[in-house]
Amino acid sequence: MIETIATTPLEGQRPGTSGLRKKTPVFQQKNYVENFVQSIFDCLEGFEGSTLVVGGDGRFFNREAIQIVIKIALANGFGRILVGQGGLLSTPAASNVIRQYGAFGGIVLSASHNPGGPHGDVGIKYNVANGGPAPEKVTEAIFARTKEITQYRILNAPDLDLDALQKLRFGAATVEIIDPVSDYAALMQKLFDFERIAALFKSGFRLRFDAMSAVTGPYAARIFEELLDAAPGSVLNATPLPDFGGHHPDPNLVHARHLYDLAMTPDGPDLCAASDGDGDRNLIIGRGRFVTPSDSLALIAANAHLAPGYAGGVKGIARSMPTSRAADKVAEKLKIPLFETPTGWKFFGNLLDAGMATICGEESAGTGSDHVREKDGLWAVLMWLNILAARGESVDAIVTKHWAEYGRNYYARHDYEEVESDGANALIDALRTALPSLKGRQFGDLRIAGADDFSYHDPVDGSDSAHQGLRIHFEDGGRIVYRLSGTGTAGATLRVYIERFEPDPARQQIETAAALADLITLSNEIAGIAKFTGRAAPSVIT
């Protein structure tokens, strides 16, 4: 039943920040998925007879792609394939299944927060045995292989039924369709005080969680409404749809604006939250208070000991470089190490495996811990619920007290989406060349203390990653960071991260845009954003 099919390399199969992401029609090309999946397996050794986990976020074309992945995996010699029912597994749940069942690795079909549908995006990502995204060394090897591939091996069999929980046999190998939620829910019950959170709901606490018609729906419905007995209707858009209902499943202040507006009404829910397409991001808004992901990381690290799974304390905190330095203050106070890594969860894996970090986070709405090797949206919501239940205070009160104690890091990210690649690259090149001359320059009240091109030396495996973002530091502690997105699928996306530290509680309740106004103006001036991109304003501010 195994066939060897001749093929030729296809352009542009280089994985980005988080796997290979392209427009749907690109993925639908003949042999596109086949080439990439065979290239993954060609770069792995010793998986004969072992377990592979397969799942995705339920978007358009996932079912077709999953059939191909399973058939190629069987033809290449995997012994057991675990597939989420309906082809669904959230990214953190896939990470958990890989770890829990001792799998060799996993393949996750997702373009995460990117839109889905015939004109949307599709993505595919390989995770290694620790449950985390493959490190750069592996993704680069896969890319090299895609440029040389001449054939793939595939099982010639009818499509499998992915919807019934069952075990299918293929010779000595099995394909098991598993409940995507139960193992994950059990893990959450171990980490958090479900009784206390249930009591919080019973006391009248109101949650509104928007699954954005993406993968977290079934997880959120089970955990919040069934296990924690939150009021029916606490979970919105709980049915995963192939096109996410035509929406952009990105839980930010633009695409989840309705939640923000709801939370800002005087009788709004106590907590509004959301997750993205594949369930690894989170949005946290208390009544009257939006929590930036960078602040959320710091607050979680400072309060994690209130949750049973973290009662022993936090060993270290890791954040991506552009993430605000709010978490650094917490690490200082707790006298634990703080690691600054490049953007992308794959850089946290080694630190988590080595027990050097317990809590990790990114400014892009990603927070997580050593419980899996991916960021985890529902985990973050449960952590907040556990903290709120334990402290008996509102989100706003907790945030305000945190700032008074540690200082506030005003923070914004400006995205210039789908600009022309040539212009974006020219901007970065010009700024990189100018970096050495920036030190000591004065702009109004702002004086540049230093500027550099961030590179990371992994303290665990000794690998180096260069050109991970251009940083400009100011003498008053402010900072501007520039980098190009590695997840976009059209043109280039320039991300500009702007931050200012404010220790004085009397000045901690200013509008973010006002608190950062001079830095924002300067961010355009220094890099010539308008000149290089032709854009007068960012497309998204988060």
**Site for ligand VG1 contains 366 (CB under 6 A):** yes
Torsion of CA 155, 156, 160, 166, to 10 degrees: -60
**Is 343 a residue that touches ligand VG1 (CB under 6 A)?**
yes
Q: Tell the smallest beta-carbon distance from residue 334 to ligand VG1 (Å).
A: 24
Strand ranges for 282-370 from DSSP E: 283-286, 289-291, 317-320, 338-341, 359-362, 366-369
Q: How far is the CB of 297 from Co ion (least distance, A)?
A: 16
User: Catalytic pick from 90, 95, 110, 112?
Assistant: 112
Which residue's beta carbon is nearest to the bound ligand VG1? 112
Stretch that binds ligand VG1, among 340-348, 351-359, 378-386, 463-471 (CB under 6 A): 340-348
When binding is defined by CB under 6 A, the residue of 34, 340, 362, 499 that contacts ligand VG1 is 362
Say whether residue 280 binds ligand VG1 (CB under 6 A).
yes
Q: Is 388 exposed, middle or buried (0-12, 13-18, 19+ CB in 10 A)?
A: buried
Which of 132, 269, 286, 344 lies at the binding interface for ligand VG1 (CB under 6 A)? 344
By beta-carbon proximity to ligand VG1, the closer residue of 213 and 364 is 364
Residue 216, contacted partner among Co ion, ligand VG1, none, CB below 5-8 A by kind: none
Residue 266, Cβ density class (10 Å: 0-12 exposed, 13-18 middle, ≥19 buried): exposed
How near is the Cβ of 19 to ligand VG1 at its closest, in Å?
7
Residues lying near Co ion in the complex (CB under 5 A) are found at 112, 276, 278, 280-281
- Out of 245, 450, 486, 505, which residue is the one contacting ligand VG1 (CB under 6 A)? 486
Residues 6+ apart with CB under 8 A from 126: 19, 40, 105, 106, 107, 133, 134, 138, 139, 142
Q: Which residue from 99, 281, 373, 500 is in contact with ligand VG1, where contact means CB under 6 A?
A: 281
Of the candidate residues 485, 523, 524, 533, the single one contacting ligand VG1 (CB under 6 A) = 485
Q: Which stretch binds ligand VG1 (CB under 6 A): 29-37, 391-399, 432-440, 480-488?
A: 480-488
Sign, CA dihedral 228-300-272-19, equals: negative
Binding piece for ligand VG1, criterion CB under 6 A, among 77-85, 150-158, 197-205, 274-282: 274-282
Residue 495 within binding range of ligand VG1, rule CB under 6 A: yes
For 534, residues 6+ apart whose C-beta sits below 8 A from its C-beta are 419, 420, 423
Q: What is the dihedral of CA 61, 279, 283, 533, to 10 degrees?
A: -40
Of 279, 360, 223, 242, which is closest to residue 95 (Cα–Cα)? 279
Instruction: List the 235-236 sheet strands across, edge first.
Output: 235-236, 207-210, 271-274, 283-286, 289-291
DSSP 64-98: HHHHHHHHHHHHTT-SEEEEEEEEE--HHHHHHHH
Supply 356's token pair: 């050097």
Helix (H, G, I), strand (E, B) or coil at 484: strand
Indicate whether 57 belongs to the interface with ligand VG1 (CB under 6 A): no
- The least CB distance from residue 343 to ligand VG1, in Å, is 5
Q: Judge contact between 29 and 8, C-beta under 8 A.
A: no
Residues 86-115 that bind ligand VG1 (CB under 6 A): 112-113
Find the length of the chain.
542
Residue nearest to Co ion according to CB distances in the complex: 112
> Is residue 341 a contact point for ligand VG1 (CB under 6 A)?
no
State in angstroms the smallest separation of the CB of 378 from ligand VG1: 13
Active site residue 112: yes
Binding site for ligand VG1 (CB under 6 A): 17-18, 112-113, 276, 280-281, 320, 343-345, 362, 364, 366, 485-487, 495
Query: Could you list the active site residues?
Result: 112
